[in-house]
């Protein structure tokens, strides 16, 4: 398996702003964005614990489920994906690929999914290494910290599109004293800062060098209002980069629409 690491750093010129894009979206087709970084030390921990099966959770369009399936396929683990909601056939492309990569898919209705009773799962599936939804745990933070070390030029601000906040939480632990991290929340609500603090506490490394901007969620997770889609299309035409509207599009929209001071030396992570 060829992973493109370190991921490329590309310069993007926009009026009044130069942004360096950390192209984690190019790491591997089965591990887009932060997926490889989040899984890497989970795989090490699973192996060290002698586990042969990975079990994780996600919605029906979860790239994390697909990436966990790919990790199992490439590194010799059985994988079980617990999907939120009912089964729909034919499977959508994300779940179809997960199954193709050998993942056993099981479905839980929303109430049961919220409880995610681990005991029950162990009764059903036996011994497994549990990776939380979105891969967000202390092993993920360790992997995400490594993206900072790959950036071979100085900058002041490192920007993320945030869902669980794990990528930001991990990367913030590796910044130098003059540097800060800024996460644009892809979800509506103000819970993300609490999540970042909780994740950093679990990792044993709390920092005060980050903040969350929750003004650019565009109505909530996976909402696709027209201005966002037009921005993504326009960005594609001008720069040849297809941003996903769920995460990357919102962050780039924010950066090109006044979220940071002009002239800030920044790196944005795709």
Interface with ligand PLP by CB under 6 A: which residues?
33-34, 63, 134, 136, 161-167, 244, 247-248
Closer by beta carbon to ligand PLP, 25 or else 72: 25
**Closest distance to ligand PLP from the beta carbon of 161 (Å):** 4
User: Among residues 92 and 124, whose Cβ is nearest to ligand PLP?
Assistant: 92
Decide: 162 and 91 in contact? Cβ < 8 Å: no
- CA–CA distance, 66 with 29 (Å, rounded to integer): 10
Q: How far is CA 150 from CA 2, 81, 154, 247, in A?
A: 17, 31, 11, 22
In the complex, minimum distance from the CB of residue 123 to ligand PLP, in angstroms, rounded to a whole number: 29
3-state SS class at 33? coil
How far apart are the C-alpha atoms of 44 and 48, rounded to whole Å? 6
Taking the least distance from each CB to ligand PLP, the nearer of 178 and 223 is 223
Does residue 129 contact residue 53 with C-beta atoms inside 8 Å?
yes
| Cα 21 from Cα 101, distance rounded (Å) | 30
Which of 31, 39, 75, 76 has the alpha carbon at shortest distance from 56?
39
Q: Which is nearer to ligand PLP, 127 or 150 (CB)?
A: 150
Strands 157-162 and 180-185: parallel
One of 62, 161, 162, 185 is an active-site residue; which one? 62
Q: Which residues contact 224 (CB under 8 A, 6 or more apart)?
A: 218, 245
Picking from 134, 131, 206, the residue whose alpha carbon sits closest to that of residue 167 is: 134
In the complex, the smallest distance separating the C-beta of residue 264 from ligand PLP, rounded to whole angstroms, is 20
Least distance in angstroms from the C-beta of 142 to ligand PLP: 13
Query: To the nearest whole angstrom, how small is the minimum distance from the Cβ of residue 105 to ligand PLP?
Result: 19
Do the Cβ atoms of 48 and 76 come closer than 8 Å? no
| Closest approach of ligand PLP to the CB of residue 100, in Å | 20
- Residue 108 vs 252, nearer CB to ligand PLP: 252
The pair of three-digit structure tokens given for residue 190, joined into one six-digit string: 């103000």
CA distance 149 to 198: 23
Q: Is 62 a catalytic residue?
A: yes
Could you give the residue ranges of the DSSP H alpha helices within 49-117?
63-75, 93-100, 110-115
Q: Given the complex with ligand PLP, which of 94 and 260 has the nearer CB atom?
A: 94
Active site residues: 62
């Amino acid at each position: 398996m060829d992973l493109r690491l370190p991921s490329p750093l590309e310069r993007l010129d926009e009026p009044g702003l130069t942004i360096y894009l950390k192209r984690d979206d190019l790491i591997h087709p089965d591990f887009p964005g932060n997926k490889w970084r989040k899984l890497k030390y989970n795989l090490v921990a699973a192996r060290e614990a002698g586990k042969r099966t990975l079990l994780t959770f996600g919605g029906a369009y979860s790239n994390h489920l697909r990436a966990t399936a790919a990790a199992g396929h490439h590194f010799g683990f059985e994988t079980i994906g617990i999907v939120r909601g009912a089964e729909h056939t034919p499977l959508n492309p994300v779940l179809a690929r997960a199954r193709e990569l050998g993942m056993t898919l099981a479905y839980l209705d929303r109430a049961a999914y919220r409880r995610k009773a681990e005991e029950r799962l162990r009764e059903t599936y036996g011994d497994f290494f549990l990776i939380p939804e979105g891969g967000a745990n202390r092993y993920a933070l360790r992997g995400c910290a490594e993206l900072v070390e790959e950036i071979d030029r100085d900058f002041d601000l490192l920007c993320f599109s945030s869902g669980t906040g794990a990528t930001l939480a991990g990367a913030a632990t590796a910044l130098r004293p003059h540097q800060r991290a800024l996460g644009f929340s892809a979800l509506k609500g103000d819970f993300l800062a609490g999540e970042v603090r909780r994740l950093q506490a679990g990792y044993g490394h709390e920092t005060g060098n980050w903040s969350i901007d929750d003004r650019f969620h565009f109505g909530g997770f996976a909402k696709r209002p027209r201005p966002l889609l037009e921005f993504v299309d326009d960005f594609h035409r001008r720069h040849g980069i297809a941003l996903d509207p769920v995460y990357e599009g919102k962050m780039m929209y924010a950066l090109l629409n006044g979220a940071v001071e002009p002239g800030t030396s920044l790196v944005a992570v795709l």
